[in-house]
Amino acid sequence: MDDLKGNMEEVISIWREADAVCFDVDSTVIQEEGIDELAKFCGKGPEVQAMTKNAMGGGIGFREALTARLNIIQPTMTQIRDFIRFCPPRLTPGIKKLVDCLHQRSIPVYLVSGGFRGLIGPVALDLNIPLQNIYANKLKFFLNGEYAGFDESEPTSRSGGKGEVIGLLKKEHGYGKIIMVGDGATDLEACPPADAFIGYGGNVIREEVKNKCKWYVTDFQELIDVL
């Protein structure tokens, strides 16, 4: 137990000294899993939800799961537009205050997600996070607006991609201490290269993530209090 406590103190210390913070989006910054909500909106909810659960637990490769889910949904450009308009994501309580707190300390905040840039843009704007600080997947459409796949060159479209993004941020900006905050297996595996990982369980608790991380919180106020 003391060893565990020591590990937690180490993460808390890095959190206080972080020079950049990366947040996962689905079930972390927002209360929903974006792809599940999009699937429901497009009438394909149950099939996709089961696959998301499997993917988030690390049961199947991320790209494999992403491809399969999108092939089930086949969202059109019009559906995406209507979804953003009629089903805006709900911010997780406390996230706005936390991001404001980090910004006041001049700490840049990034959104690193296996979700879709088009759906995450409004979330970033709500939180005053620059759009260039979003690292996420891009959907592709044919000229008639039909679904045409996704951009496979985006690091976030594959397993290990969040770690790649963090490595890139370190290289480009010279950050010494980057924290990754998230709820899923893909967030946990981004550390390293992230200097510390904070597990978040305020929307959904994934036991395999909770058991493997040194600091696990269920309320963003815990992170604010430590700052």
Query: What residues are labeled active site?
Result: 24, 26
- Tell me the C-alpha to C-alpha distance, in Å, between residue 37 and each of 30, 88, 90, 132, 185: 12, 10, 11, 24, 20
In angstroms, the Cα distances linking 190 to 37, 86, 108 are 25, 33, 18
CB 184 within 8 A of CB 27: yes
Residues 158, 15 contacting (CB under 8 angstroms): no
CA distance 130 to 138: 17
